[in-house]
Amino acid sequence: MKPIKLPSSFLLGSATAATQIEGGDKNSNWYHWSLKGMIANNESSIVAADHYNRVIEDINLMKEMNHEIYRMSIEWSRIEPEEGVWSQKGIKHYQDEIQALVEAGIKPLVTLHHFSHPQWFEEKGQWTNRDSVKYFSRFVKKVVSFLGDSVNEYCTINEPNVFAMDTFMDGKYPPGKKDDILSYFKASKNLILAHLKAYKIIHSERKKMGYNDTMVGIAIHLAYFEVSGNNILTKLSEKLMNYSFHQMFLNGMIEGHLTFPVGLGYPHGKGIYCDFIGVNYYSRHLIHSSNNPAMLFGEVKVEAGLPDEKLNDLGWEIYPEGLYKVVKEVFEKYKLPIYITENGIPDANDSKRAKFIYNHLKEIEKLIADDVDIRRYYHWSLLDNLEWNDGYAPRFGLIEVDYYTQKRTIRESGRFYGTICKEKEITKKMIDKYL
Ligand code: GAL
């Protein structure tokens, strides 16, 4: 294994999402989803990693791991628990959290929708409701006004593609629709429009406050798709999937271009609606031909017979080369700064995470050498957390959480990563010690 050197301007930290770590909120759609027994082992989001009550302890752990940046989300249901009603308690909580981060020298990147929203919004049909953009915009304006100068970087929507897929096609997220293609496209359209509107609101609101340093982007899940076999229909299915899972969202959210079937034309005018592209990358997906009538989406499988070291605890393939490929392609196309807004591994016994980090940073080193403007790496995740419908079993944390006592312990791979955050390199000595 060779040492790795990253530029000193390259920033490293980790990412989380409110529902997955905070606990305590009964107004979010995920709490209601857990009440219906829809999370593995009948688990609930109600306690999670109790981060809501342990913000300072967790920021101290970030400091211990030399974080320079941190990606977090704001729980909409804590800010607007009932339609049109703003919670001062919720607002104050996030103002204090962000203040504490800034004082710790950790720069926050704030996500405004990370898979969860208030139950009242859910009951209105969530993103399929024609007024969803209006509701979200009002929330966005509120957040920007109460965070003021303390945050200049926002991620509007996290993984609109995975969200729409898991909500309306795979039935995993509330309201658990299956193969509902119409809702998939309807919600996708609104998510795209919500981003475009939010992009404009955040810029104009901050401009009114006198700030010109605003950076707004998305966090898009880019999977590396590969066709399995030579079947012409499977190849077609891969193209359709790539379009409806990736390109359609990129067209819309970056260029403001609604393309078939979510729409036609430029509702906000031609332009560029992202100041950076946030890429969430996890794995390679092999596309097989499908018996599903919704053949459009083919069928994604992991290559048969892969050795254990190539698989994570959820059975996804570990494929670092894919990070290079998806980032290179999206950068060549749009030439916008790239942040890796998520990349990580469920690895309960911490036997693969350090190597995973090394191998993915190696790809980043190559991207930098090939003149890709890649600036950030947010490891998923700071802490073990609620992996949505898969519950608490998958362990993504650099920090281990004992859910009975809420005791935090930095894993060995977390120590390794903390040293990388500080040194911006992986030396021979670190390789010998951790890998
Ligand atoms: C992403 C998601 C995160 C986290 C991660 C690990 O799709 O944005 O919230 O769950 O996957 O699976």
pLDDT, one tens digit per residue, over 161-206 is 999 999 999 999 999 999 999 999 999 999 999 999 999 999 999 9
Nearest CA to 173 out of 33, 342, 32 is that of 33
Query: What class is the 4-221+318-434 domain?
Result: alpha beta
Q: How far apart are CA 279 and CA 292, in angstroms?
A: 29
Instruction: Please identify every residue annotated as catalytic.
Output: 159, 342
Count Cβ neighbours within 10 Å for each residue of 178-192 and write b for 16 or more, e otherwise: eebbebbbbbbbbbb
Query: What does the pLDDT average to over 425-432?
Result: 98
The predicted model scores a pTM of: 0.97
User: In the chain, where are the structural domains located?
Assistant: 4-221+318-434
pLDDT, one tens digit per residue, over 268-311 is 999 999 999 999 999 999 887 666 655 555 677 788 889 999 99
Question: Would you state the pLDDT for residue 47?
Answer: 96
Question: Would you state the pLDDT for residue 296?
Answer: 57
Q: How far apart are CA 311 and CA 185, in angstroms?
A: 32
Question: Would you state the pLDDT for residue 301?
Answer: 79
21 lines ligand 1 (CB under 6 A): no
Question: Would you state the pLDDT for residue 291?
Answer: 60
Query: What does the pLDDT average to over 387-405?
Result: 98
Q: Kindly give the distance from the C-alpha atom of residue 211 to the centroid of ligand 1, in angstroms, as a whole number.
A: 32
Question: Would you state the pLDDT for residue 206?
Answer: 98
27 lines ligand 1 (CB under 6 A): no
The region that residue 217 occupies, defined by phi over 0 for left and psi between -120 and 50 for alpha, beta otherwise, is beta
Residue nearest to atom 9 of ligand 1 (CA): 17
What is the 3 state secondary structure string of 265-332? ECCCCCCCCCCEEEEECCCEEEEECCCCCCHHHCEEECCCCCCHHHECCCCCECCCHHHHHHHHHHHH
Instruction: Tell me how far apart the 2 most distant CA atoms of the chain are, in Å.
Output: 58
16 lines ligand 1 (CB under 6 A): no
Q: How far apart are CA 324 and CA 205, in angstroms?
A: 36
Three-state DSSP class for 1?
A: coil
Q: Which ligand 1 atom sits closest to the C-alpha of 162?
A: 7
Question: Would you state the pLDDT for residue 302?
Answer: 85
Question: Would you state the pLDDT for residue 61?
Answer: 99
Please give the backbone phi and psi of residue 404, each rounded to the nearest 5 degrees, phi first. Answer: -80, -40
158 lines ligand 1 (CB under 6 A): yes
pLDDT, one tens digit per residue, over 20-72 is 999 999 999 999 999 999 999 999 999 999 999 999 999 999 999 999 999 99
